[in-house]
A and B are shown apart, each in its own frame.
Chain A
Amino acid sequence: QLVQSGTEMKKPGESLRISCQGSGYNFTTYWIAWVRQMPGKGLEWMGRIDPSESYVNYSPSFQGHVTISIDKSIRTAYLQWSSLKASDTAMYFCARQSATQASLWGQGTLVSVSS
Chain B
Amino acid sequence: DVQMTQSPSSLSAAVGDGVTITCRAGQTISRYLNWYQQKPGQAPKLLISGASTLQSGVPTRFSGTGSGTEFSLTISSLQPEDIATYYCQQSYSTSWTFGPGTKVEIK
The residues of A with any CB-CB pair to B shorter than 8 Å are 33, 35, 42-45, 48, 57-61, 93, 95, 99-103, 105-108
Contacts and interface: CB of A to CB of B under 8 A. Distances in A.
A105 B43 contact: yes
Contacts of B45: 105
B94 A101 contact: no
B43 A107 contact: yes
Given A43-B101, A102-B89, A103-B55, 4 more contacts: A93-B44, A102-B44, A103-B49, A105-B43
Interface majority SS (helix, strand, loop, mixed), chain A: strand
A102 B1 contact: no
A93 B36 CA distance: 14
28 contacts: A42-B85, A42-B87, A43-B87, A43-B89, A45-B95, A45-B96, A45-B97, A45-B98, A48-B96, A57-B94, A59-B1, A59-B97, A60-B95, A61-B1, A93-B43, A99-B91, A100-B32, A100-B50, A101-B50, A101-B91, A102-B36, A102-B44, A103-B46, A105-B43, A105-B44, A105-B45, A106-B43, A108-B43
A102 B98 contact: no
Q: Secondary structure at chain B's binding surface: helix, strand, loop or mixed?
A: loop
Interface in B3-32: 32
A5 to B, nearest CB: 15
B66 interface: no
Nearest to A99: B91
